[in-house]
Amino acid sequence: MSRDEDALPGRTPKLIELSREEFGDEMAIHVDSNSSYYPPQAIEVGRMLEDIEAVYFEKPCPFDHLEDTRQVTDALRIPVAGRGAGI
pLDDT of residue 85: 47
Residues 59 and 85 sit within 8 Å (Cβ to Cβ): no
pLDDT of residue 7: 73
pLDDT tens, residue by residue, 66-86 = 999 999 999 999 999 986 544
pTM (predicted TM-score): 0.87
Q: Which amino acid is at 53?
A: E
pLDDT of residue 6: 72
Please, which pLDDT band fits residue 3 given cuts at 50, 70 and 90? Answer: low
